[in-house]
Structure 1
Amino acid sequence: MFVFGILSTFLPIVIIIFVIVYAVKNKEMGGEAVIRHLYTYLVLFATLMMVIGGGISIFMAAADLVSPPGYYQNFEDFKQVYHDSKVPTEESQKLSDDEIRERYDQMVKDEKNRARENAKNQLIKSLGFIVIPLPIFLYFNNMRKRQSDI
């Protein structure tokens, strides 16, 4: 999270410096051409960052899909909470340790399945960060090449 804080702080400053340097360096091109080039580069930068972010997010979701995060409540804590609940039911007082163990195992299995389903959902969402901006990036990259040929 620290890296994202630094990026969100310094990224606008870097973009502003890039715009100023590019405008000063290419002032002989004319104002409209400089603005057109800057716009093209900014769109390329934004779409490239989206594609890279989507790729990272896909990798993270695939890792969660292959190896979902573990469940962190151990059996003894589960059993303690199950027996010492503030509203005890007759059912919870009659259960044996084996029955509580079965419920615990089922809860752990359900938690892993939930984590896998969340990873699949995140994978699909992350694909949107690649599928949507990639054609825009390719179009503007071709436009940039045509502008530099002129």
Structure 2
Amino acid sequence: MVVFGLLTTFLPVVIIIFVIVYAVKNKEMGDEAVIRHLYTYLVLFATLMLVIGGGISIFMAAADLVSPPSYYQSYEDYSQIRQEGKVQGQKTLSDQELRANYEQAVTDEKNRNKESAKNQIIKSLGFIVIPLPIFLYFNNVRKRKSDE
């Protein structure tokens, strides 16, 4: 979270400095050409950051899919909570039934984490599939302008 905070503070400053330096350096091109180039580079930068972020998110979700987070509640805690929470008139579960319920809860939690990771991978693909064609188009435009 600290890194994200530093990035959100530092990144706009870097972009502003880049815009100023580029505009001063290419003043002889004319205002309109400088603005068009800046716009192209800013779109390239933004779409590249989205693609990179999507790739990182896919990697993290794949790691959760391969090795889901552990279930942190011990059998003793589960048993104690179940014993304290039972309602009057409810039959007492045997240790074997309680153990089976605990194992089922652990399995259900792991499956829920895996499903969540699959869902995250699908959502993260949107951060690659949507901006990538835009990046490729603007990179093509940039190459054509530099060839002229």
What is aligned with 2:71?
Answer: 71
Any unmatched runs of 5+ in structure 2?
none
What residue in structure 1 maps to residue 61 of structure 2?
A: 61
Mapped pair 1:52 → 2:52: yes
Q: CA deviation at 1:89?
A: 4.5
Q: CA deviation at 1:90?
A: 3.3
Mapped to 2, the partners of 1:111 and 1:17 lie a distance apart of 48
The alpha-carbon distance between structure 1 residues 134 and 89, as it changes in their structure 2 partners (threshold 3 A), is farther
After TM superposition, the structure 1 = structure 2 runs for residues 108-147 of structure 1, keeping only pairs within 5 Å, are 108-147=106-145
> CA offsets, 1:78-107, max 9 Å, x none?
00000012x62533x511111111000000
**Local SS of the residue matching 2:134:** helix
Q: TM-score of the superposition, structure 1-length normalised? A: 0.96
| Local SS of the residue matching 1:129 | helix
Q: Distance in 1 between matches of 2:130 and 2:45?
A: 15
Question: CA–CA distance in 2 between the matches of 1:18 and 1:61?
Answer: 33
Structure 2 Cα separation of the partners of residues 68 and 52 of structure 1: 23
Distance (Å, rounded) in 2 between the aligned partners of 1:68 and 1:79 = 23
In the alignment, which residue of structure 2 is the partner of 1:94? 92
After the TM superposition, which segments of 4 or more aligned residues of structure 1 sit over 6 Å from their partners? none
Equivalent position SS for 1:118: helix
SS in 2 for 1:90: coil
Going from structure 1 to structure 2, the CA distance change for 1:89 and 1:68 (only over 3 Å counts) comes to: farther
Q: Corresponding residue for 1:23?
A: 23
1:2 equivalent in structure 2: 2
Q: Partner amino acid for 2:114?
A: R
User: Percent of aligned positions with the same letter in both sequences?
Assistant: 75
Which consecutive residues of structure 1, in runs of 5 or more, have no partner in the other structure?
none
